[in-house]
């Protein structure tokens, strides 16, 4: 039963990620990423990593992507026209590189899959088990992330202030 | 029965799609979204390895990756907004000089 769910959410994840990179409208890109993150969270739940799945849903789909939506709506991106010639050239190179990576990866994964017969463990990533490890063994990295977020806030505030004070004054040559 | 390899192949496919997105898009916003796809793909393989090896460390790494990615997105979007205010575009080609 859970294998059907795996294939369902895997298909949704792949199609949503394709929509992220191919859709024309930036708004659709962001909404496709919301769908991709949602199906990824469902895959985490299938892997019994409940806490990480919920954090992904709350932080990514809840906060980060709404932030993306705000920026897309603020910027009025529909006025942007693309430089078509260079766009197409880079698209070819990017597709060649991506396909090369995909085939290399699948070739490597094929031998790996044939070699391993690992069974899933009975590990359940609930809040209790994750929290116990997080606040004992991984306490120092956890506290350091608060410092990282503080630095991020400083960076954003200084960027926004710089943009406000020297807005479009010195755009000349 | 879903094996570890199924998750790894799915993660590789999503990572390749994100890589194509980073390489081909001119739009800085779309580059950031594709970077999110790359992070999501690696998160998936971390959680799959965590489940199949019986170790919680993979899930904790994913937790930290989510935190760092949130900070990265916030800074990146702030830079995009500043860029749009100064250059009136968010095409990556327009960033031709290092001097602000």
Does pLDDT of B46 surpass 70? yes
Is B4-94 CATH 1.10.287.3510?
Answer: yes
Whether B16 contacts A105, CB under 8 Å: yes
Cα-Cα-Cα-Cα torsion B11, B14, B16, B19, nearest 10 degrees, comes to -120
Binary contact (A64, B4; C-beta < 8 A): no
Binary contact (A80, B89; C-beta < 8 A): yes
| Residue A85 counted as domain residue | no
According to the model, what pLDDT value does residue A96 have?
A: 85
Tens of pLDDT, residue by residue over A61-96, are 888 888 888 888 887 765 555 544 455 666 778 788
Binary contact (A90, B44; C-beta < 8 A): no
According to the model, what pLDDT value does residue B85 have?
A: 81
Q: Are residues A73 and A131 in the same domain?
A: no
According to the model, what pLDDT value does residue A83 have?
A: 47
What CATH number corresponds to the domain at position A64? 1.20.120.1200
On whether any CB of chain A is under 8 Å from the CB of B84, the answer is yes
Residues in chain A: 173
**Residue A2 belongs to domain spanning:** 1-77
Does pLDDT of A164 surpass 80? no
Q: Are residues A4 and A65 in the same domain?
A: yes
With bands split at pLDDT 50, 70 and 90, how would you rate the model's confidence at B88? confident
Q: What are the C-alpha distances in Å from B77 to residues A2, A72, B82?
A: 38, 10, 9
Q: What are the C-alpha distances in Å from B17 to residues A19, B3, B5, B12?
A: 10, 22, 18, 9
Report chain B residues whose CB lies below 8 A from the CB of A109: 5, 8-9, 12
| Residue A101 counted as domain residue | no
Q: Are residues A72 and A140 in the same domain?
A: no
How far apart are the CA of B32 and the nearest CA of chain A, in angstroms? 10
Count, in order, helices (H) and strands (E) of chain A.
7, 0
Binary contact (B75, A90; C-beta < 8 A): no
Q: What are the C-alpha distances in Å from A151 to residues A135, A148, B18?
A: 22, 5, 28
Whether B71 contacts A148, CB under 8 Å: yes
Residues in chain B: 100
Number of domains forming the structure of chain A = 2
Average pLDDT of span A6-17: 94
| Residue A144 counted as domain residue | yes
CA distance B83 to A145: 27
Closest CA to A148 of B64, B58, B43: B64
How far apart are the CA of B45 and the nearest CA of chain A, in angstroms? 10
Report chain A residues whose CB lies below 8 A from the CB of B80: 71, 75
* Number of cross-chain residue pairs from A and B with Cβ atoms under 8 Å apart: 247
């Amino acid at each position: 039963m859970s294998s059907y769910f795996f294939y369902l959410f895997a298909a949704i994840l792949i199609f949503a990620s394709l929509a992220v990179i191919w859709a024309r409208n930036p708004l659709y890109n962001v909404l496709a990423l919301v769908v991709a993150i949602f199906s990824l969270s469902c895959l985490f739940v299938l892997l019994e990593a409940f806490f990480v799945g919920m954090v992904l849903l709350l932080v990514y789909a809840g906060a980060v992507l709404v932030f993306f939506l705000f920026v897309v709506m603020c910027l009025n991106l529909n006025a942007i026209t693309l430089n078509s010639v260079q766009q197409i050239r880079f698209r070819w190179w990017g597709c060649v590189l991506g396909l090369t990576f995909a085939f290399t990866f699948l070739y490597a994964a094929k031998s790996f899959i044939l070699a391993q017969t690992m069974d899933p463990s009975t590990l359940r990533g609930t809040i209790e088990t994750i929290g116990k490890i997080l606040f004992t063994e991984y306490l120092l990295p956890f506290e350091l992330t608060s410092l990282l977020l503080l630095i991020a806030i400083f960076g954003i505030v200084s960027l926004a202030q710089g943009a406000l004070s020297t807005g479009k004054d010195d755009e000349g040559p | 029965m879903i094996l570890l390899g199924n998750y790894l192949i799915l993660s590789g496919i999503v990572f390749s799609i994100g890589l194509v997105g980073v390489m081909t898009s001119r739009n800085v916003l779309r580059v950031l979204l594709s970077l999110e796809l790359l992070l999501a793909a690696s998160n998936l393989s971390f959680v799959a390895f965590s489940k199949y090896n019986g170790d919680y460390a993979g899930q904790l790494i994913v937790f930290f990756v989510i935190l760092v990615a949130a900070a990265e997105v916030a800074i990146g979007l702030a830079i995009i907004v500043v860029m749009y205010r100064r250059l009136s575009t968010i095409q990556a080609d327009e960033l031709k000089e290092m001097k602000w």
